[in-house]
Amino acid sequence: MMMSYNGGGRALEREDESAEASKRAPRRALDEARLRQQAIGVKLRQMFDRVVNEPVPDEFLDILRRHDEQAKGGDDK
């Protein structure tokens, strides 16, 4: 939007404000994207921490024990 100078300085102020607003818009979008990424990262870390702290199922522990016993028995041969 081009406005000519009317002697009062208002037209130039509007032009400057418009230019500043157009410069801020990409930065605002970038800041919002970074905030979303940080929020996603926080949620993923929380989810990972919950999974890591879950107890190991008994069936899986049995499989590991059997494997260890077989591995020990195979070393003797």
pLDDT in tens, 45-70: 999 999 999 999 999 999 999 999 99
Q: Which run of H or of E encompasses 73?
A: helix 58-76
Residue the block writes with tokens 């702290």:
53
pLDDT at 10: 61
Has this prediction a pTM greater than 0.95? no
Average pLDDT over residues 23-50: 94
Q: Please report, for the chain, the start and end positions of each structural domain, with discontinuous segments joined by +.
A: 10-76
- How many angstroms separate the CA atoms of 70 and 55, rounded? 24
Give me the DSSP letters along 2-67.
Answer: -----SSSHHHHHHHHHHHHHHHHHHHHHHHHHHHHHHHHHHHHHHHHHHHTSPPPHHHHHHHHHH
